[in-house]
Amino acid sequence: MIYSGRPKSCQEFTCAWLLGFGLSEYRPDNTGIVPDFQEIPGIGLVLYLWEAREGMMSSGFVKKQTGINLQAGKFVLHVPIQGNPRLYVPEGKNVADYRLVFGDVVDKEIQVVKFSKGRF
């Protein structure tokens, strides 16, 4: 897109915000988070939230988007700048081997967090 200072990686990438998922104020340079939906075999549609600015993974925006998507039965993967990705698993769902499923996409160990009511 369109705004100055966009990441170089976005020359060949279209994030979920640019595809129309999200309000105008959720533009990634405002939230510090790049959202992306990917269809993962064995899991279905997964919302990736890539941290683009340090510290933003704990923002209200991330909590809200994670909660909405978990409630809708979607998996949500947090990919922070530092540390390991976290896969949030919606209620009633499970996947046997997450490393196998995400191996090509995320090269760090994935921590798995099961749905718990009231967390988001």
- Contacts with ligand SF4 by CB under 6 A lie at 1, 6-7, 10, 13-15, 17-18, 28, 34
SS3 72: coil
Select from 54, 88, 53 the least CA-distant residue to 68: 88
| Closest CB 10 distance from ligand SF4, rounded Å | 3
Mark out the alpha helices in the chain (DSSP H runs): 28-31, 60-71, 98-102
Pick the closer one to ligand SF4 by CB: 6 or 93.
6
| Closest CB 61 distance from ligand SF4, rounded Å | 14
Pick the closer one to ligand SF4 by CB: 14 or 116.
14
